Amino acid sequence: MRIGRAAGVTDTGRKRLRNEDAFICEPPLFAVADGMGGARAGEIAAGLAAAALEEADAETRGAEGIVALIAEANRRIWERSLSDPATAGMGTTVTAALVDAASGTVAIGHVGDSRAYLLRDGAIEQLTVDHSLVAELVQSGVLTPEEAERHPQRSAITRALGTEPTVEVDAFTIEAAPGDVFLICSDGLSVMLSDEVVAEIVFSADGDLPRAGEELVRAANTRGGEDNITAVLFELVADDGVEPAEPAAETEVEGDVEAEAQESGSEAEAGAIRGAASTDTASGSTPPDADVSDPSLRRHGAGPGGRAAALLLIVGVLVVGALVVYWSISR
C-alpha cells in the first residue's frame, strides 16, 4: 500500500476575522490544529503545534510516535504561554495521522474536537471521539447525538493542547485498505456539515481530493461558515508500482472580506473552553476564491502571508471604490 492523492484546504469562513486553524499535509504526516485564545494567541498555539509536528522524522512511528509529537507540542505551547503574558491561556486542538505505508496502518492521535474520519466502501466512520462537553453528555446519556448537534455549547472542548503542563492524548492505529480515504477536519467543518453530507461530497469527487476539499469548504460556508474551516484528505491505494503519487495539493482560501468580519466569539475566549456559536451578523454571499498554491511547506492560519493577502484584498476593494461599508472594516 502507498499514499495516493492528498489535499489540504483551510478557509476563514464567513464570520471570523482571522483563521486560527493550521494544517499539515506532508505525507506521511497529516494534521489539523484549531487554535483558541484572545488576540492572536489562537494562531500562535495552532502554529506552534504544527511546527512541533513537522519535526516528525523517519524515527517517528505509530501511535507512540504521534503521542510523543503531540506531547512535545503541548510542552512548547505551555511554556510559551508562561513566558508571554499576551498568550496566557492559549490552546489548540490537534488531530494528527501518521501513515505507515509498508504495514498499511494509520496511527491517529488527537486532543480536542478536531476529527478524523474514514471513508470506505461508500460509508463514513468517525474515528475520533471529541473531547467536548456535548460528547461527554452524549456518552453519559444526558443528550442524544441529535441534541448535541444543536447544543449551544457544542464548541466547548474539555481537553486542549497547551493549557496544562501535560496533556492526555488519545491515540490508536487503523488497519487501512486500498481505496480508503481519511479526512481530518476542524469543527468549522463538522459542526456545519452532517457526516452524510461530508460523505456525499467526498465520494462525489471520485478521488479528486483537492476538489473534495474545496467542495467541503464551499458547503460549510453555504451553511453559514460560522467558524474557520479546515479539511485535510488523503487516500491509500494499492502499491501496484504503476501510478506515481501526485504531489499533495494545498489550498488556502483567504478571508471572505465581504463578510462583516467581527469576531466576537474568539476574542472573548479563554482557557480550554471555547465560546458558544458566535453572534456575528455576516452578510457575505460570494463564494471564496480558491488560491491553489505551491505544495511546498506552508504554514496555514499562522503566518503573516495570509494576513498580508487579506490586507491586500481589503486595500484592493478600497481602491476600486466599492461599497462604503468596506471603509469601516478595513482598519
**Footprint of Mn ion (CB under 5 A):** 34, 186-188, 227
Q: How far is the CB of 191 from Mn ion (least distance, A)?
A: 8
* Structure-block grid coordinates of residue 106: 494509520
Of the candidates 28, 33, 3, the residue with the CA atom closest to the CA atom of residue 181: 3
Which CB atom, from 228 or from 251, has the smaller least distance to Mn ion?
Answer: 228
Q: How far is the CB of 269 from Mn ion (least distance, A)?
A: 10
Which CB atom, from 227 or from 280, has the smaller least distance to Mn ion?
Answer: 227
Size of the chain, expressed as the number of residues it contains: 331
As a whole number of angstroms, the distance between CA 279 and CA 45 comes to: 24
Q: Which residues, 6+ apart, have CB-to-CB distance to 301 below 8 Å?
A: 10, 18, 19, 20, 21, 22, 23, 35, 43, 46, 47, 228, 230
**Residue 28: is the preceding peptide bond cis (ω within 30°)?**
yes
Which CB atom, from 227 or from 258, has the smaller least distance to Mn ion?
Answer: 227
Q: How far is the CB of 266 from Mn ion (least distance, A)?
A: 9
Contact indicator for 88, 81 with CB cutoff of 8 Å:
yes
Q: How far is the CB of 6 from Mn ion (least distance, A)?
A: 22
Of the candidates 14, 50, 44, the residue with the CA atom closest to the CA atom of residue 32: 50
* Structure-block grid coordinates of residue 249: 495539493
The H or E element containing residue 71 is helix 62-83
User: By CB neighbour count within 10 A (0-12 exposed, 13-18 middle, 19+ buried), where does 107 fall?
Assistant: buried
Q: How far is the CB of 106 from Mn ion (least distance, A)?
A: 23
Which CB atom, from 56 or from 96, has the smaller least distance to Mn ion?
Answer: 96
Q: How far is the CB of 43 from Mn ion (least distance, A)?
A: 12
Q: How far is the CB of 198 from Mn ion (least distance, A)?
A: 16
Contact indicator for 221, 14 with CB cutoff of 8 Å:
yes
DSSP secondary structure of 238-276: ---SSSPPPPPEEEEE---TTS----HHHHT-BTTB---
Which CB atom, from 187 or from 215, has the smaller least distance to Mn ion?
Answer: 187
